[in-house]
Amino acid sequence: QVQLVESGGGLVQAGGSLRLSCAASGRTFSSSYAMGWFRQAPGKEREFVAAITWSGGMTYYADSVKGRFTISRDNAKNTVYVQMNSLKPEDTAVYYCAARRSTVVVTSTRDYEYWGQGTQVTVSS
């Protein structure tokens, strides 16, 4: 029903920057969706990173990335971005894009209905 494709991951040195993209498609997708970024490191649970709503542009960030990451969206392109600055080794993880129908930001993994395949981000020490 909704397809999500992440891109932009890669290898970066500590202190560097990356921008991840999530392209959304599907005939049921609409501006009433909330979009989120999550990440999962080896041996750890998937954790919330940032979220945004299509309509109002409301955002919310995990404390661990606040001030370093910025989530945004381009409604015309149905694409969500996360700009990641001042990257740290502990940011290393597979980053996932997710979506669900909601007019407010959603931060819980279990509340998201659609998921992308993930993109690897590796930050060297």
- 30, β-bridge pairs: none
In this structure, are residues 67 and 83 in contact, taking their beta carbons and an 8 Å threshold? Answer: no
Give per-residue pLDDT as tens, 84-121: 999 999 999 999 999 999 888 989 999 999 999 999 99
Give per-residue pLDDT as tens, 1-38: 899 999 999 999 999 999 999 999 987 777 788 999 99
In this structure, are residues 23 and 74 in contact, taking their beta carbons and an 8 Å threshold? Answer: no
Task: Report which of residues 27 and 70 the model is more confident about.
Answer: 70
Of the candidates 92, 109, 91, the residue with the CA atom closest to the CA atom of residue 100: 109
